[in-house]
Structure 1
């Protein structure tokens, strides 16, 4: 079974096992609804572990989630940094954009002039807009806001993102 990353466990919150999740999905309401299952992947686990969502609430640009399987901080603490996944067959369609986060990560980024910039390594979901983190060889990461003025074309088949270079991006 193939899995898609939908979030990352970044920290604990309180003593009752609630955790802070950084999102890697355009559909947090569907992915992290009460009663849904997500799969935890962490180096301390031989296999992915299923967790059932018991409670969820927004907290800044992240979510605070309580899992049925964890009732205190000591159960959650060892898994900080873990990825959260859902089975690929649970893909939520996105007719507006026509692509998903997992299709963008790894794409080559080029400018409208044809200059090679790097590869998308991560997508940050922020309140104003998503930011695509581009890994560049020999340079620091480039943060590209996902807005019309910057991202001009996304070709998921060819795995290429075309961007317009604007002053202040670097």
Structure 2
């Protein structure tokens, strides 16, 4: 299985280094020296990481055969893709790779269908499940223990217990408000 693990950003300096936007929880495993990565577009790769370092909070990489700014600039916006064993699991029991979560069915604790995870958005404060509902709309579910109560990879489902308003349709909320006000016609 292939996973996007980073996107190449700007050239850094004049010796072929580039900044990378990391898209993996394990950059030390996927983006270390010697790693061979496929690319999108495929015409730019595969690329072999020669060196890597952190500078001012950003990961900088240099690839074999790219030793000047011009070569580094030509790689900008290229996606780096790693081969990953589909059965590989993170070390911690409560951690998951994105590919394990994509396409899981999302249900409420009572079994009510919410939708299907189509994307994981990694934000600085927390990760979000992007869930496509049966009607084609999307809802964002924070991937936190208080809301996502269970991930069952064998059953291919994520069980959630959302707070009021997180996944409710605006029409349902408006209808509930109307019902409340209809009963107050004293």
TM-score category by the smaller chain? Answer: 0.7 to 0.9
CA pair 154-49 structure 1, distance change in 2 beyond 3 A: same
Q: Which of the pair has more CA radius of gyration? A: 2
Q: Is contact 2:8–2:18 with CA below 8 Å preserved after alignment?
A: no
TM-superposed deviation, 1:108: 1.4
What is the distance in 1 between the residues matched to 2:36 and 2:87? Answer: 11
Paired residue for 2:178? none
Paired residue for 2:67? 71
CA pair 160-90 structure 1, distance change in 2 beyond 3 A: closer
Paired residue for 2:10? 12
More strand by share: 1
Count of matched residue positions in the alignment of Structure 1 and Structure 2: 162
TM-score (normalizing by structure 2)? 0.68
Unaligned 5+ runs, structure 2: 168-186
| Offset from partner CA, 1:63-104 (integer Å, 9 cap, x none) | 533122333454344562524213428946423326432211
TM-score (normalizing by structure 1)? 0.73
Structure 1 position 40 matched with structure 2 position 35: no
Paired residue for 1:138? 136
Greater relative contact order (Cα < 8 A, sep 6+): 1
TM-superposed deviation, 1:55: 1.4
TM-superposed deviation, 1:151: 0.4
Unaligned 5+ runs, structure 1: none
More helix by share: 2
Paired residue for 2:120? 123
